[in-house]
């Protein structure tokens, strides 16, 4: 049984409880992902008075694909309702709005760490570090409850580095436990050997032909898999933290047991009804449309 319930419901964006912070606080540039330029702190022209997106159901067709692959991990409602006590940036002072926009990206990073830490605590193979993971989870949650002034001054990069040490150890433990179906561990053909799978951390795999590839237990941390052909690939037990899956083809790929993969990463890829997914993620709507 897992060390604790892998409940990340509070780490999913709830737009109804947010003041449209991602549509205001964050900048974006005209590109294949966004139809126009928008500086940080300026509301997107599609943002309505109720803080909802006026083209949410048609974002891809309107040139805002970037919005469909973004998730605040619940930071939006935390900043809106807790950090700033439900006071809207529209009705407060300019200083109030500026502080809210400055704090949002910080809390978003902390909530992303909460997502990974909670997932790690649900992995049996990571039991040797569960105590440390619980402490890191509690500390990260404590930081999210700081005042706006404390959050603005927080060295979030330093905290991310501390947590990353634990996530790396978690990755090693989980990937070492991946079997090859022949009684061995690690890469195909490694029967009887203890391994951690292929190490592709930060690898440039843009457009790579990996159809049917055996990537069980691989480390794909920060790998560039943009437009890679992963059709039918076996990714069971792979570490996907930070992997860039934009336009990667996951048709009929097996992602069961993949860990540290987020919904935004999956939304950026292409797939099919035959793509097997981890239970914590949902099949992107545009996959069905593409099929």
User: pLDDT tens digit string along 235-249?
Assistant: 999 999 999 999 999
Please answer whether residues 219 and 239 qualify as being in contact, where contact means their C-beta atoms are separated by less than 8 angstroms. Answer: yes
Burial class (CB in 10 A: 0-12, 13-18, 19+), 34: middle
Dump pLDDT digits (tens) for 169-205.
Answer: 999 999 999 965 444 444 444 443 333 468 999 999 9
- What size, in residues, is the chain? 291
Do the beta carbons of residue 264 and residue 244 sit within 8 Å?
Answer: no
pLDDT tens digits, one per residue of 32-67: 889 999 999 999 999 999 999 999 989 989 999 899
């Amino acid at each position: 049984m897992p060390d604790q319930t892998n409940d990340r419901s509070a780490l999913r964006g709830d737009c109804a409880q947010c003041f449209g912070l991602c549509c205001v606080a964050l900048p974006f540039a005209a590109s294949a992902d966004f139809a126009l330029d928008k500086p940080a702190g300026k509301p997107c022209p599609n943002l309505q008075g109720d803080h909802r997106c006026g083209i949410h159901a048609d974002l891809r067709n309107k040139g805002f694909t970037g919005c469909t692959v973004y998730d605040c991990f619940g930071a939006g409602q935390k900043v809106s309702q807790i950090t700033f006590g439900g006071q809207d940036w529209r009705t407060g002072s300019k200083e109030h709005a500026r502080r809210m926009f400055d704090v949002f990206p910080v809390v978003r990073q902390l909530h992303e760490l909460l997502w990974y830490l909670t997932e790690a605590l649900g992995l049996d193979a990571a039991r040797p570090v569960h105590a440390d993971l619980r402490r890191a989870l509690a500390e990260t949650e404590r930081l999210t409850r700081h005042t706006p002034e404390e959050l603005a001054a927080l060295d979030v990069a330093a905290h991310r580095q501390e947590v990353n040490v634990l996530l790396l150890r978690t990755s090693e433990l989980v990937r070492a436990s991946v079997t090859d179906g022949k009684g061995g561990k690690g890469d195909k053909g490694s029967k009887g050997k203890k391994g951690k799978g292929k190490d592709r951390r930060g690898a440039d795999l843009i457009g790579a032909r990996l159809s049917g590839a055996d990537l069980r237990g691989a480390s794909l941390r920060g790998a560039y898999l943009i437009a890679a052909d992963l059709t039918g690939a076996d990714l069971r037990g792979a570490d996907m933290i930070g992997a860039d899956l934009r336009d990667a083809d996951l048709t009929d790929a097996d992602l069961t047991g993949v860990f540290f993969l987020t919904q935004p990463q999956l939304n950026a890829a292409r797939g099919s009804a035959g793509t097997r997914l981890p239970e914590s993620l949902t099949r992107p709507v545009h996959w069905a449309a593409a099929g």
